């Protein structure tokens, strides 16, 4: 089973290239320590929400853009070992001496994919989401996502992933639980959809939402949709 480390980061718009360069410089180290993929996706279509949203999740200021980022590993064991090596490697410390964002407001955690449908090639656009799902509803949530993934792929999505919270720490300023107002009996889900381009994504969503299969069981949703966070992101690094 693969493992995902997911991040949501507030980055000043003026620091976009500095952020991309830092991630690109760190990518070879992540690969050396066992990561199989690193994606950094820049906020492009990130709406305000009534209850929760990506901007509120990281307390983003008007001058900041939300980045949706993840690392993929072959297993949790490899990810845990990689994290220990990254934290102690002097090359990491040198590169991170002047990070181009407020690290205190970055949220991060480890997630185990319970759904991973489609290919794993380069993408042109991503929809990212965070959800709070009652632990007892895991099977019902997975069944819903299996159905939705098939519909999304019919309309052009190349990959659909939902990853169940495994190692989601509490933070001092921001964290995943606070982002979705998770209750004690809920797990955080980190999910994304990969598309070949923004144009395909924008064309697909009206068709997806018009598909009656997407609305089956709406009266018994396995999570609180009002607290779901979502947005569209353009990749600036995918290695």
**pLDDT 10s digits, 179-206:** 999 999 999 999 999 999 999 999 999 9
User: What CATH number does residue 176 fall under?
Assistant: 3.30.70.100
pLDDT over 70 at 113, yes or no: yes
Total structural domains in the chain?
1
pLDDT over 80 at 97, yes or no: no
Q: Which residues form the domain of 196?
A: 3-238
The pTM of the full predicted model, rounded to 2 decimals, is: 0.95
**pLDDT 10s digits, 140-182:** 999 999 999 999 999 999 999 999 999 999 999 999 999 999 9
**pLDDT 10s digits, 39-53:** 999 999 999 999 999
H/E/C letters for each residue in the chain?
CCEEEEEEEEEEHHHHHHHHHHHHHHHHHHHHCCCCEEEEEEEEECCCCCCCCHHHHCCCCCCEEEEEEEEEECCHHHHHHHHHHHHHCHHHHHHHHHCCCCHHHCEEEEEEEEEEEECCCCCCEEEEEEEEEEHHHHHHHHHHHHHHHHHHHHCCCCEEEEEEEEECCCCCCCCHHHHCCCCCCEEEEEEEEEECCHHHHHHHHHHHHHCHHHHCCHHHCCCCHHHCEEEEEEEEEEC
């Amino acid at each position: 089973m693969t493992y995902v480390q997911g991040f949501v980061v507030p980055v000043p718009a003026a620091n976009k290239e500095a952020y991309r360069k830092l991630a690109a410089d760190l990518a070879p180290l992540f690969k050396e320590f066992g990561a199989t993929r690193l994606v950094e996706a820049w906020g492009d279509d990130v709406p305000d929400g009534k209850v929760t949203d990506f901007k509120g999740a990281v307390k983003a200021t008007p001058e900041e853009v939300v980045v949706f980022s993840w690392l993929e590993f072959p297993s949790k064991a490899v990810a845990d070992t990689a994290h220990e090596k990254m934290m102690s490697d002097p090359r990491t410390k040198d590169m991170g001496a002047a990070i181009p964002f407020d690290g205190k407001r970055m949220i991060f955690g480890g997630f185990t994919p319970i759904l991973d449908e489609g290919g794993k090639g380069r993408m042109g656009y991503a929809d990212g989401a965070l959800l709070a799902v009652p632990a007892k509803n895991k099977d019902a949530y997975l069944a819903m996502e299996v159905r939705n993934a098939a519909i999304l792929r019919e309309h052009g999505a190349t990959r659909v992933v939902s990853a169940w919270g495994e190692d989601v720490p509490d933070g001092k300023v921001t964290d995943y639980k606070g982002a979705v107002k998770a209750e004690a009996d809920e797990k955080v889900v980190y999910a994304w959809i990969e598309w070949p381009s923004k144009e395909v994504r924008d064309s697909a969503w009206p068709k997806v939402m018009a598909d009656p299969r997407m609305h089956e069981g709406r009266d018994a949703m396995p999570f609180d949709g009002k607290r779901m966070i979502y947005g569209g992101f353009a990749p600036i690094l995918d290695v």
